[in-house]
A and B are shown apart, each in its own frame.
Chain A
Amino acid sequence: MSKEMAPEHITIRTQMRIPYAYSAGLYVGRFLQELRDNEKIYANKCPKCGRLLLPPRIMCGRCSVRMGEWIEQGHKGTLVSFGVTIEPQVDVTTGENKKVPFTTAGIQLDGGAAILHLLEETDASKLRLGMRVEAVFKPREERQGLITDILHFKVVEE
Chain B
Amino acid sequence: MVDEVTVREPIIVHQGFIVSYEYAAGEAGSRFYVELRDKGNILGTRCPQCSKVYVPPRTTCGACFGKLDEWVKLKAEGTLMTYTVVHYSLPVHPVGTPFAYGIIRLDGADTGLTHLLGEVDLESIRIGMRVKAVFKEDRQGNILDIKYFKPL
Which residues from chain A sit less than 8 Å from chain B, CB to CB?
Answer: 1-3, 5-24, 26-30, 32-34, 42, 56, 69-72, 90, 92-96, 145-146
Which residues from chain B sit less than 8 Å from chain A, CB to CB?
Answer: 1-3, 5-25, 27-31, 33-34, 43, 69-73, 90-92, 141-142
- Does B11 lie within 8 Å of A10, measured CB to CB? no
Number of A-B contacts (CB under 8 A): 132
Residues in A neighbouring B43, C-beta threshold 8 A: 1
- Does A33 lie within 8 Å of B30, measured CB to CB? no
Residues in A neighbouring B25, C-beta threshold 8 A: 9-12
> A13, A29, A56, A71: which has the most chain B beta carbons within 10 Å?
A29
What is the interface of chain A mostly: helix, strand, loop, or mixed?
Answer: mixed
- Does B14 lie within 8 Å of A11, measured CB to CB? no
- Does B19 lie within 8 Å of A30, measured CB to CB? no
What is the interface of chain B mostly: helix, strand, loop, or mixed?
Answer: mixed
Residues in A neighbouring B6, C-beta threshold 8 A: 30
In whole angstroms, how far apart are the Cα atoms of A19 and B90 in the complex?
Answer: 9
Residues in B neighbouring A29, C-beta threshold 8 A: 7, 10-11
User: Closest CB-CB distance, B13 to chain A, in whole Å?
Assistant: 5
- Does B34 lie within 8 Å of A7, measured CB to CB? yes
In whole angstroms, how far apart are the Cα atoms of A1 and B68 in the complex?
Answer: 12
